[in-house]
């Protein structure tokens, strides 16, 4: 039954294939002429840049070809506006999409260089915080793979997400500097610039008090097999006057650089919050800056093709990734009315036909609101337009919902009213969007809210990050799955084949060993690669409940110490993730995990059966090492709080089993992989709401669990912070008095389910079947499927690829 079919041959993949000798020549040429280095003193950076530039040369043809085709067809383009693109590294991505990875490996070997070392030299482009930004990056990949003409638009932050260090277990943030080295993939577009105004007065027309320039930088985004390439266009802010010579001549050197510093501040740094908005003036300026530049660019392109303004929505589909670009509604109306003479009511309709909005969270603190005074000072013309949008909305629907209320401008309401389509990101989340945050607007505009469940790109999240499993799958069913992930179903018949399962587990084992080696290289403790690798990686947030995970870890440690001679399933608990710098409780949770890790890892009684590790500075590249090595995926958020999750999909795809609540896309993952292959626990979203109405629910839950009581007492007594016994009093008190995320209520069930996981893991045959079925049944979670959904239901656009040839 286990019959290898397909082979791993990259050369046939693409017509951009290049021979190793030719690639070598090109690398050498770039080394000399682009880097200005002689081969005898070339550094790792020089080699990496030369390889990147040599590969980039090969991207240009498909990129031009795609652009040409988009103009010829004269159809619709998709514009994905996002404050965040969490891209990670690109070198291997490009090599793989070109079908040139083995060629690159060979070419470098010819110079005595190791391909992996060169690939790992590239800094992560971390222009995002978490799921929302990574989703945008997966969407770019899928748009190109599917051959849908599209642009991603965002900000070229000088400093992406901060670097996380631990000092005595505490998170320390250090500015990140990916642009300290020349970004290999970018093309500067000094001729593409737009003026962006702020403040000032509105008389006959808006006279901004301050103006900055938005400068374009383009990165080609190549799809699978190099068949199509779209563009990611990122804006950086420049002053209109580079240097104030007048001040300088008067001897005021500092004053002379002020205009530049002020303008540059706009694209200087990514706000490091994922779900809580800062409400700061600079953030509002960032949002308007990139949205305005993008819309001016879109309208310019549209006009350059000679269309009538009335046909805008036939050529332009704009997707707003969360409310961050919600100013797009008023800005597009402003451009139409003030610059192209369209009448106001007509402009509102035209803009709405172009715009769609994706909601990514129900957390009330994340729904952006701007203080009316600040808004009026910064964007006076837009405030007028918003008043007109609100009046138009109220007169058409008779609705009582306002955009401007209690001295606030509410961006969720603005985005909703100005969009022809609003979507949530998982089935459960979209239903909750209808019932909670936008219940009234859902009644005003029935049918406007739809669902598009998130997905992940199989190129990065299986093909690239998991070579052992990729090879096994290719041997078993061929490589058609890479851009048609549902083909993984064809693995299912092989799950009854002992040989296949052995190979499947051997692939997992190889990934676990790779991780163990990587940890050792980072100076971490030595770990047993046969232990269960139990992984929770994501932003640190109370609703994601890393706290519940570490409490359960302590309870389990107590069990082993109480009965050291029983047989315990060895486990390695792995945590990864950053906390927003101002999020005090999240930072305490990080500190606690690190403190627990210190005590537990040093315990000679338990250390062969339980270890806790927390490698600092979790990012996309670290995820690519951790996910393929995981046996167990922790998706344990309070039900109703995680909009979708995408990490959950990556783990299942790579053959990890999930322990999880009925939250976000977990619900759909469980349905697809089968309830018998998923460890479910916890309150449902409805039960969560009910439980909050029970008086003193947390104290009751703690009292009913001697295990939890013991753990909380140990923490409060300073067992894990001997030099500072009071360190976690606040955290423990929080759980007793205001356990909003119901850690205490779900603890018991979580603990019991973890013991089921322990038992299941030792039945190797059964576990391997469950793991393989997770991979075989996760094909639906491809971002290609998600993008096809957006294209069909929202954008009304389609692929320009020739389906027969490719
Ligand atoms: C996040 C949600 C995740 C979801 C991603 C992508 C924000 C504001 N939201 O559950 O928390 O998977 O968006 O949709 O980052």
644 lines ligand 1 (CB under 6 A): yes
pLDDT, tens digit (0-9, with 9 covering 90-100), for 179-199 = 999 999 999 999 999 999 999
Nearest CA to ligand 1 atom 15: 132
From 80, 83, 130, 641, give the residue whose CB has the most ligand 1 atoms within 8 Å, as the site to mutate. 130
Measured from the Cα of 646, ligand 1's closest atom is 12
Nearest CA to ligand 1 atom 6: 132
Q: Tokens 């919050």 label which residue?
A: 273
From 84, 359, 360, 364, give the residue whose CB has the most ligand 1 atoms within 8 Å, as the site to mutate. 360
pLDDT, tens digit (0-9, with 9 covering 90-100), for 296-350 = 999 999 999 999 999 999 999 999 999 999 999 999 999 999 999 999 999 999 9
Given pLDDT bands bounded at 50, 70 and 90, which one contains residue 16?
low
- The angle, 0 to 180 degrees and rounded to 10, between the axes of the packed helices 706-716 and 729-737 is 150
DSSP codes of every residue in 8-24: ---GGG-TT---HHHHH
Residue 169, Cα to own-chain centre: how many angstroms? 26
483 lines ligand 1 (CB under 6 A): no
Nearest CA to ligand 1 atom 9: 360
Mean pLDDT of 259-267: 90
At 408, is the secondary structure helix, strand, or coil? strand
Given pLDDT bands bounded at 50, 70 and 90, which one contains residue 14?
very low
Q: 274 alpha carbon to ligand 1 midpoint, in Å?
A: 8
412 lines ligand 1 (CB under 6 A): no
pLDDT > 50? residue 6: no
332 lines ligand 1 (CB under 6 A): no
Q: Give the per-residue pLDDT at 614.
A: 98
Which pair of tokens denotes residue 805? 């040839």
pLDDT exceeding 70 applies to what percent of the chain? 97
Half-sphere exposure of 404 (CA within 13 A, CB side): 17
Measured from the Cα of 363, ligand 1's closest atom is 8
pLDDT, tens digit (0-9, with 9 covering 90-100), for 282-291 = 999 999 999 9
Mean pLDDT of 228-253: 91
Given pLDDT bands bounded at 50, 70 and 90, which one contains residue 256?
confident
Q: 366 alpha carbon to ligand 1 midpoint, in Å?
A: 11
Q: Give the per-residue pLDDT at 7.
A: 38
Separation between Cα atoms, residue 684 and residue 687, nearest integer Å: 5
426 lines ligand 1 (CB under 6 A): no
Q: Are 294 and 81 in contact (CB under 8 A)?
A: yes
pLDDT > 90? residue 646: yes
Q: 417 alpha carbon to ligand 1 midpoint, in Å?
A: 21
Q: 454 alpha carbon to ligand 1 midpoint, in Å?
A: 9
| Prediction pTM value | 0.97
> What is the 3-state secondary structure of 666-695?
HHHHHHHHCHHHCEECCCCHHHHHHHCCCC
648 lines ligand 1 (CB under 6 A): no
pLDDT > 60? residue 11: no
Q: Give the per-residue pLDDT at 803.
A: 63
pLDDT, tens digit (0-9, with 9 covering 90-100), for 531-565 = 999 999 999 999 999 999 999 999 999 999 999 99
Strands (E), 305-433: 316-321, 355-358, 369-371, 404-405, 408-410, 421-424
In b/e form, how buried is each residue of 709-726, taking b as 16+ CB within 10 angstroms?
Answer: eebbebbbebbbbeeeee
pLDDT, tens digit (0-9, with 9 covering 90-100), for 106-126 = 999 999 999 999 999 999 999
Q: 589 alpha carbon to ligand 1 midpoint, in Å?
A: 21
643 lines ligand 1 (CB under 6 A): yes
Number of Cβ within a 10 Å radius of residue 613: 18
pLDDT, tens digit (0-9, with 9 covering 90-100), for 25-78 = 999 999 999 999 999 999 999 999 999 999 999 999 999 999 999 999 989 999
Element (H, E) at 191: strand 187-198
Nearest CA to ligand 1 atom 3: 645
Nearest of 216, 210, 217 to residue 263 by alpha carbon = 210
pLDDT, tens digit (0-9, with 9 covering 90-100), for 101-110 = 999 999 999 9
Give the N- to C-terminal CA distance of the chain in Å, as an integer. Answer: 32
Nearest of 639, 737, 645, 750 to residue 688 by alpha carbon = 639
DSSP codes of every residue in 517-562: HHHHHTT-----TTSEEEEEES---GGGTHHHHHHHHHHHHHHHHH
Measured from the Cα of 366, ligand 1's closest atom is 8
- What are the catalytic residues? 360, 538-539, 544, 646, 650
640 lines ligand 1 (CB under 6 A): no
Q: Give the per-residue pLDDT at 806.
A: 41
pLDDT > 80? residue 12: no
Mean pLDDT of 3-26: 63
At 412, is the secondary structure helix, strand, or coil? helix
Q: 643 alpha carbon to ligand 1 midpoint, in Å?
A: 6
Given pLDDT bands bounded at 50, 70 and 90, which one contains residue 254?
confident
Q: Give the per-residue pLDDT at 276.
A: 60
From 137, 139, 273, 361, give the residue whose CB has the most ligand 1 atoms within 8 Å, as the site to mutate. 361
For all residues of the chain together, what is the average pLDDT?
95
Q: 360 alpha carbon to ligand 1 midpoint, in Å?
A: 5
366 lines ligand 1 (CB under 6 A): yes
Q: Give the per-residue pLDDT at 277.
A: 57
pLDDT, tens digit (0-9, with 9 covering 90-100), for 394-415 = 999 999 999 999 999 999 999 9
275 lines ligand 1 (CB under 6 A): yes
Q: 642 alpha carbon to ligand 1 midpoint, in Å?
A: 7
Q: Give the per-residue pLDDT at 146.
A: 98
Q: 240 alpha carbon to ligand 1 midpoint, in Å?
A: 36
pLDDT exceeding 90 applies to what percent of the chain? 92
Helix count and strand count (H, E) for the chain? 33, 24
pLDDT, tens digit (0-9, with 9 covering 90-100), for 506-528 = 999 999 999 999 999 999 899 99
Separation between Cα atoms, residue 201 and residue 618, nearest integer Å: 45
Q: Give the per-residue pLDDT at 253.
A: 86
* Percentages of the chain per state (helix, strand, coil), in multiples of 5: 55, 15, 30
Q: 645 alpha carbon to ligand 1 midpoint, in Å?
A: 6
pLDDT, tens digit (0-9, with 9 covering 90-100), for 760-784 = 999 999 999 999 999 999 999 999 9
Measured from the Cα of 322, ligand 1's closest atom is 8
Measured from the Cα of 642, ligand 1's closest atom is 10
The dihedral formed by the CA atoms of 651, 657, 659 and 662, expressed in degrees to the nearest 10: 70
Element (H, E) at 127: strand 125-127
* Beta bridge pairs of residue 422: 357, 449
361 lines ligand 1 (CB under 6 A): yes
pLDDT, tens digit (0-9, with 9 covering 90-100), for 436-494 = 999 999 999 999 999 999 999 999 999 999 999 999 999 999 999 999 999 999 999 99
């Amino acid at each position: 039954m286990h019959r290898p079919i397909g082979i791993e041959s990259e050369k046939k993949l693409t017509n951009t294939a290049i021979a190793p000798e030719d690639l070598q020549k090109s690398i050498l040429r770039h080394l000399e002429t682009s880097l200005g280095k002689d081969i005898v003193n070339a550094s790792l950076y020089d080699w990496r840049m030369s390889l990147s530039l040599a590969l980039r040369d090969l991207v240009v043809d498909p990129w031009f070809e795609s652009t040409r085709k988009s103009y010829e067809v004269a159809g619709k383009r998709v514009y994905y506006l996002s404050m965040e693109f969490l891209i990670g590294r690109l070198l291997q991505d490009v090599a793989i999409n070109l079908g040139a990875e083995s060629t690159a490996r060979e070419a470098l070997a010819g110079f005595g260089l190791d391909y992996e070392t060169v690939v790992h030299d590239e800094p992560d482009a971390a222009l995002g915080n978490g799921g929302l930004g990574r989703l945008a990056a997966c969407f770019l990949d899928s748009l190109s793979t599917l051959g849908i003409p599209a642009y991603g638009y965002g900000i070229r932050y000088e400093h992406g997400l901060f670097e996380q260090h631990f000092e005595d277990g505490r998170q320390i943030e250090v500015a990140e500097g990916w642009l300290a080295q020349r970004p290999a993939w970018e093309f500067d577009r000094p001729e593409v610039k737009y003026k962006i105004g702020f403040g000032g007065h509105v008389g006959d027309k808006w006279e901004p008090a301050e103006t900055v320039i938005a400068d374009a930088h383009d990165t080609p985004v190549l799809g699978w097999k190099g068949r199509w390439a779209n563009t990611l266009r990122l804006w950086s802010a420049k002053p209109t006057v580079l240097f104030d010579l007048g001040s300088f001549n008067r001897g005021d050197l500092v004053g002379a650089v002020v205009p530049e510093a002020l303008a540059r501040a706009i694209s200087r740094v990514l706000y490091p919050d994922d779900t809580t908005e800062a409400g700061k003036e600079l953030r509002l300026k960032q949002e308007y800056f990139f949205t305005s530049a993008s819309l001016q660019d879109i309208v310019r392109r549209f006009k350059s093709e000679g269309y009538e303004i009335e046909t805008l929505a036939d050529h332009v589909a704009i997707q707003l990734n969360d409310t961050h670009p919600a100013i797009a509604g008023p800005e597009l109306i402003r451009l139409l009315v003030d610059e192209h003479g369209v009448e106001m009511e007509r402009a509102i309709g035209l803009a709405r036909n172009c715009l769609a909005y994706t909601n990514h969270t129900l957390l009330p603190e994340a729904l952006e609101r701007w203080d009316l005074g600040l808004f009026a000072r910064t964007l006076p013309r837009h405030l007028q337009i918003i008043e007109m949008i609100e009046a138009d909305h109220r007169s058409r629907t008779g609705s009582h919902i306002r955009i401007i209320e209690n001295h606030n401008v509410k961006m969720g309401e603005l985005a909703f009213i100005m969009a022809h389509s609003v979507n949530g990101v998982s089935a459960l989340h979209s239903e909750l969007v209808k019932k909670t945050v936008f219940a009234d607007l859902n009644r005003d505009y029935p049918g406007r809210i739809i669902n598009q469940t998130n997905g992940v790109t199989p190129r990065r999240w299986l093909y690239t990050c998991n070579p052992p499993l990729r090879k096994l799958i290719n041997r078993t069913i061929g490589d058609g799955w890479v851009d048609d992930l549902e083909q993984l179903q064809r693995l299912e018949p092989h799950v009854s084949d002992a040989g296949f399962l052995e190979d499947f587990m051997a692939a997992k084992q190889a990934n676990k060993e790779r991780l163990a080696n990587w940890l050792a290289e980072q100076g971490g403790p030595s770990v047993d690669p046969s232990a269960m690798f139990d992984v929770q990686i994501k932003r640190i947030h109370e609703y994601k409940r890393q706290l519940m995970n570490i409490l359960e870890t302590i309870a389990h440690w107590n069990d082993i110490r109480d009965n050291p001679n029983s047989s315990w399933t060895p486990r390695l608990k792995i945590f990864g993730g950053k906390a927003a710098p101002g999020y005090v409780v999240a930072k305490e949770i990080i500190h606690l995990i690190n403190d627990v890790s210190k005590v537990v890892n040093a315990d000679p009684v338990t250390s062969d059966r339980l270890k806790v590790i927390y490698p600092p500075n979790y990012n996309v590249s670290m995820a690519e090492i951790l996910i393929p090595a995981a046996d167990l995926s922790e998706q344990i958020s309070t039900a109703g709080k995680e909009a979708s999750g995408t990490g959950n999909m990556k783990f299942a795809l790579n053959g990890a089993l999930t322990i999880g609540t009925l939250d976000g896309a977990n619900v759909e993952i469980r349905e697809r992989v089968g309830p018998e292959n998923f460890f479910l626990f916890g309150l449902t979203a409805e039960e969560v709401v009910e439980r909050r109405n029970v008086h003193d629910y947390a104290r009751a839950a703690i009292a009913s669990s001697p295990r939890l009581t013991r753990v909380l007492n140990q923490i409060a007594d300073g067992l894990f912070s001997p030099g500072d016994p009071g360190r976690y009093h606040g955290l423990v008190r929080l759980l007793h008095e205001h356990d909003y995320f119901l850690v205490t209520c779900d603890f018991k069930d979580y603990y019991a389910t973890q013991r089921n996981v322990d038992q299941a893991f030792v039945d190797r045959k059964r576990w391997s079947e469950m793991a393989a079925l997770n991979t075989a049944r996760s094909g639906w979670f491809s971002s290609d499927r998600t993008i096809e959904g957006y294209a069909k239901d929202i954008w009304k656009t389609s692929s320009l690829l020739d389906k027969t040839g490719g």
